[in-house]
């Protein structure tokens, strides 16, 4: 982070539960200082308290520009930021009779929110010696897999969520190119089909398994990749 193997200051959005909370826990356990970003103040404070003294709550609604600005000010006044994990995300069923509704809601969090948070915190990240940005995506956003008849979710009939993750993947690539030649490492992570509230706990992976790739990308050394899409076993095809 600031130097290889040094401790870092990390912000994880949507960290009051699920994969985000496990990522925060793992990073705290490794000795890093973690901001637990959450929209709900009560749940966010409870989640941070469970993680110990190296975790702090910051109220952050990724769909609210004022909330994002205030969070950036709070983190900046406290000393800066080395790592941003854009984990906050939602899923909604498509609505053929109102297609714009689910698309707006899902993209507002999964794409526009992640991009808005990233731009708001870029000035702080630029001051770090080893800034890292991890966008939590999904293999449902892989065009290669979506068009493969052998892919396990090939027959999934859902537009908004996969499209939002495909858009987030493109944002990751473009941001990585924009920051090429700097110490930044910008990558997308595929945690896999994980049992969380997002899918009513139907996923077959645990949050512990899902957090592995995110933590790894958040703590990359100077020779680590940038502009890639990864899961625990390696790279995910775009």
Mean pLDDT (the chain, rounded): 95
Q: Confidence class of residue 16 from pLDDT cuts 50, 70 and 90? A: very high
**pLDDT at 3 exceeding the cut of 50:** no
Given the residues 2, 165, 193, 204, the one annotated as active site: 165
Query: Is 17 designated active site?
Result: no
pLDDT value of residue 70: 98
Q: Can you list the alpha helix ranges (DSSP code H) found in the chain?
A: 18-29, 41-51, 65-77, 100-107, 114-125, 143-146, 160-178, 207-218
Token couple for 78: 């406290």
Say how far apart CA 33 and CA 209 lie, in whole Å.
Answer: 22
**pLDDT at 93 exceeding the cut of 80:** yes
- Rounded to 5 degrees, φ, ψ at 10 are -125, 140
Maximum Cα interatomic distance, the chain, rounded to a whole number of Å:
53
pLDDT value of residue 180: 97
Annotated domain spans of the chain:
9-235
Q: Which CATH number fits domain 9-235: 3.40.50.620, 3.40.190.10, 3.40.50.1000, 3.40.50.720?
A: 3.40.50.720
pLDDT value of residue 204: 86
Q: Confidence class of residue 110 from pLDDT cuts 50, 70 and 90? A: very high
Q: Confidence class of residue 4 from pLDDT cuts 50, 70 and 90? A: very low
CA 195 centroid distance within chain: 17
Q: What is the pTM of this model?
A: 0.96
pLDDT value of residue 203: 84
pLDDT value of residue 26: 98
**pLDDT digit string, tens, across residues 114-132:** 999 999 999 999 999 999 9
Query: Is 50 designated active site?
Result: no
**pLDDT digit string, tens, across residues 32-67:** 999 999 999 999 999 999 999 999 999 999 999 999
Whole-Å CA distances, 198 to 31, 78, 104, 122: 29, 32, 17, 28
- Rounded to 5 degrees, φ, ψ at 84 are -120, 125
pLDDT value of residue 2: 42
Given the residues 161, 185, 193, 204, the one annotated as active site: 161
pLDDT value of residue 1: 40
Query: Which of residues 202 and 146 earns the better pLDDT score?
Result: 146
């Amino acid at each position: 982070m600031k130097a290889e193997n040094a401790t870092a200051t990390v912000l994880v959005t949507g960290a009051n539960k699920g994969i985000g909370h496990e990522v925060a826990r793992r990073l705290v356990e490794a000795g890093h200082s973690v901001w637990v970003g959450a929209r709900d103040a009560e749940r966010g404070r409870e989640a941070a308290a469970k993680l110990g003294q190296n975790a702090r709550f910051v109220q952050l609604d990724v769909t609210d520009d004022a909330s994002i600005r205030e969070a950036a000010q709070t983190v900046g006044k406290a000393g800066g930021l080395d790592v941003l994990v854009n984990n906050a995300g939602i899923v909604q069923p498509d609505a053929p009779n109102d297609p714009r509704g689910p698309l707006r809601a899902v993209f507002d969090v999964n794409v526009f929110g992640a991009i808005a948070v990233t731009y708001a915190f870029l000035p702080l990240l630029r001051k770090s010696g080893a800034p890292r940005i991890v966008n939590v995506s999904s293999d449902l956003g892989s065009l290669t897999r979506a068009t493969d008849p052998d892919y396990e979710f090939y027959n999934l009939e859902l537009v908004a969520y996969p499209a939002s993750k495909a858009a987030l993947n493109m944002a990751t690539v473009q941001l990585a190119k924009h920051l090429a030649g700097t110490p930044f490492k910008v990558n997308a992570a595929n945690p896999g089909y994980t049992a969380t509230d997002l899918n009513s706990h139907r996923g077959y992976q645990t949050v512990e398994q899902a957090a592995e790739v995110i933590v790894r990308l958040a703590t990359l050394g100077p020779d680590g990749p940038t502009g890639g899409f990864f899961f625990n076993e390696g790279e995910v095809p775009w």
